[in-house]
Structure 1
């Protein structure tokens, strides 16, 4: 048994230490984000208000990611991660101080989220390359599964712990826990983790702009990877509209509450957790592209419609489980395709170009989702009579507009999957892949 475990995790000792401590820190950060979303909705009762928190986080990430990769390829990965984590902790501390002095306002959160988004822009490519440097090639799928597992566990624990701590000790206790998790991760990375330096590619003297262009040129030459990124960008547009509408619907619906929102988020995490465990230990599939396409199609065709037509928390939870158990399979197989096809010396630049292209639709989606709920679908549903077809389908009262939007998102997401499934360049990624 011990020999089998040693074989499963061979060469991953340093990665496992980094993974565990960074995941613990991610839990604290996620709890803070969750608590601030609930706090902001309680202040204004607006979907757009909470959506703006995410828009402010993603806007600098999208705008500057393409340059961050060029910097990441030449900067020390460990030092970059430490600096960025420290800045994020400083913003959490500032929020705590503003809260304790009763000076915290929504505009403070918007500014601090934008600054955190800027730091995440620099940290993400450094972290991605660090994982590649610490991982043997044959362990790529297992590492992808483990990272998905930790993300899922964070998703499970976040609403449960954040709701419990928020309810019994207040939001300041959530922020304090975030600072404790940061300290643990910082000390471990600073004193107990050594990240090897990437092999130089001979272009370290080129300008940041030139380096950024190299990432885009690589994608232009590799249409399969580029089109797969554009596929995910289209899915992210739908997913971010979903994320903008979810708190507004569940916190407003009859039978909805902060506890119901926590239940749905917890079920999302449980499903992710189960999928992550499965993908971590299963054999590589014959067709990674087919797994990616089918996983997203199932996800788009389940939860959106359960949210649209369901009235009770258990229905929403069932939809979350059916949809999100597929996502780790998509993430892991996409991650293996990228790591297998992109040279290590180019990964920082290419990942950053990917971040710009794949995630630029997220702030757009959050803005659209908030506006559509507040300005279009809620007023539209408020004008319906109880016997009208829209009222029969999506219910009445506040939250019914968000439910109508979820129906539209389900149709849009499924159509996106079917269109990109026919892309021949994406299917060409199946050729000559050195499976781990």
Structure 2
């Protein structure tokens, strides 16, 4: 452990809820910025590529820097790292705000500001995740994970609606001020909690960053069950990345932009309800079984997204798919927390995030080519699959994307079966991996 929990479990959980609330409103603010900037850039350029580049500025810096953020989360007080991350993220937003006030904003200004904010999120997120282990006992991990996911879903459920209203009432630059305000509020809450319960001692070892990074990689790689679990989820996230990239283009071929927005929000409600359920009632034991079953069901719902052109059916499939995600995420987090030394969780979480991000980034990189050059031509009128797969999926604009969704969903269900059969993953249930047991045996030889 990095320090002693001197408060009662109830007191610590209450303080965790305060920190969670600050992060909740901060996530809403971030969602306001991303949604508003997406609309702004699309109106200015009329190209989807400019919007995709904003997403890359959001995702790429954390992907590259999270290992260093994780090292710092283990080296320093994790609450201090959260404050540095939140306040630092506001600097990039202030840059965009002032450039807009000057009236000579250019696209590269926006990309630079968003990238700068994302750099600081690479230091904030590992500290936030590891802080759960600092403050709470093991039996409250599942509830905490559910609440964290609940906050994350607000970016997709609350922010688009709220941003749409605010953009009719004020200029976009003031949206940035709202986001900055939420970051400051979140920081002050963390500072207050730190003051009331005191600092958490950190085990300081005189290593350089590369040495600590290698130590984190060793801690991650020695637990073969965790490695297998993370690689499996990385494969799943590749297919989820296809959904993130192609859901809107598919729907826009079927209905209006307004209806697409409503459909997205309803789908996000599924994640909200699933997270709320876990936050209120927790999650039972047998996390590997919950993970495998949830993945299998999620794959079926994913495949249903491509089976119909009826917007209500697609929205219902999306809702049920997103409702399964909190159960998947919670099971993964609990299994990892039980099997990784808390004093090294910051750097291990950052490595895990980097590995799993890779699945989404690869998906973003190949999605356009697969949709435009491979799958859509197959299901155009007269296309090679128009008279076979087209009978089920349909023929015309966007039906190649629908076929991609069906294949992706079936692949996720297949992955769930492979996961269930993996003995190294199943042994994580007991909080001990084969590698950990071997280490204990080896250590006993020197006693």
Q: TM-score range by the shorter chain?
A: 0.7 to 0.9
Matched residue SS, 1:225: helix
1:335-387: per-residue Cα shift (whole Å, max 9, x none)? Answer: 22222222221111211221222222221111222332344444554564797
Matched residue SS, 1:310: coil
Partner of 2:368: 370
Distance 1:14 1:400 in 2: 49
Aligned-pair distance for 1:213? 0.9
1:243-277: per-residue Cα shift (whole Å, max 9, x none)? Answer: 11123223x223131x2232233223321222122
Partner of 2:256: 256
Q: For structure 1, which runs of at least 5 residues remain unmatched after alignment?
A: 1-6
Contact 2:27 2:155 in 1 (8 A): yes
TM-score (norm 2): 0.85
Q: Select 2:318's aligned residue among 313, 317, 320.
A: 320
Aligned-pair distance for 1:28? 0.7
* Farther-moved stretch of structure 1 (237-246 vs 401-410): 401-410
* Farther-moved stretch of structure 1 (80-89 vs 20-29): 80-89
Contact 1:199 1:345 in 2 (8 A): no
Aligned-pair distance for 1:398? 4.4
Aligned-pair distance for 1:27? 0.5
* Farther-moved stretch of structure 1 (218-227 vs 58-67): 58-67
Distance 1:273 1:349 in 2: 28
Contact 2:59 2:118 in 1 (8 A): yes
Matched residue SS, 2:17: helix
* Farther-moved stretch of structure 1 (116-125 vs 228-237): 116-125
Partner of 2:287: 288
Distance 1:398 1:90 in 2: 42
Contact 2:73 2:127 in 1 (8 A): yes
Partner of 2:412: 413
Aligned-pair distance for 1:212? 0.8
Distance 1:418 1:40 in 2: 42
Contact 2:12 2:136 in 1 (8 A): yes
* Farther-moved stretch of structure 1 (87-96 vs 19-28): 87-96
Distance 1:283 1:179 in 2: 32
Distance 1:230 1:185 in 2: 33
Partner of 1:334: 332
Partner of 1:235: 236
Contact 2:263 2:315 in 1 (8 A): yes
1:27-46: per-residue Cα shift (whole Å, max 9, x none)? Answer: 01012112333444445555
Aligned-pair distance for 1:227? 0.9
Matched residue SS, 2:410: helix
> Structure 1 residues 152, 343: closer, same or farther in 2, change over 3 A?
same
Distance 1:377 1:85 in 2: 41
5 Å-filtered alignment, 1:98-137, equals: 98-137=99-138
Distance 2:379 2:101 in 1: 40
Contact 1:52 1:366 in 2 (8 A): no
Distance 2:315 2:219 in 1: 41
**Taking CA–CA contacts closer than 8 Å with sequence separation of 6 or more, which of the two structures ends up with the larger relative contact order?**
1
Aligned-pair distance for 1:291? 0.6
> Structure 1 residues 55, 422: closer, same or farther in 2, change over 3 A?
farther
> Structure 1 residues 59, 15: closer, same or farther in 2, change over 3 A?
same
* Farther-moved stretch of structure 1 (381-390 vs 261-270): 381-390
Contact 1:52 1:367 in 2 (8 A): no
Do structure 1's residue 219 and structure 2's residue 220 form an aligned pair?
Answer: yes
Contact 1:54 1:363 in 2 (8 A): no
Partner of 1:426: 425
Distance 2:424 2:18 in 1: 38
Contact 1:47 1:374 in 2 (8 A): no
Do structure 1's residue 246 and structure 2's residue 208 form an aligned pair?
Answer: no
Distance 2:97 2:372 in 1: 30
Contact 1:146 1:280 in 2 (8 A): yes
* Farther-moved stretch of structure 1 (327-336 vs 110-119): 110-119
Partner of 2:303: 305
Contact 2:9 2:136 in 1 (8 A): no
Contact 2:132 2:141 in 1 (8 A): no
Contact 2:305 2:402 in 1 (8 A): yes
Q: For structure 2, which runs of at least 5 residues remain unmatched after alignment?
A: 1-7, 433-447
Partner of 1:164: 165
> Structure 1 residues 100, 404: closer, same or farther in 2, change over 3 A?
farther
* Farther-moved stretch of structure 1 (230-239 vs 328-337): 328-337
* Farther-moved stretch of structure 1 (276-285 vs 343-352): 276-285
Do structure 1's residue 175 and structure 2's residue 176 form an aligned pair?
Answer: yes
Distance 1:38 1:246 in 2: 17
Partner of 1:59: 60
Distance 1:402 1:169 in 2: 37
The number of aligned residues is: 423
Contact 2:381 2:396 in 1 (8 A): no
Aligned-pair distance for 1:205? 0.1
Contact 1:154 1:269 in 2 (8 A): no
* Farther-moved stretch of structure 1 (368-377 vs 315-324): 368-377
> Structure 1 residues 430, 409: closer, same or farther in 2, change over 3 A?
same
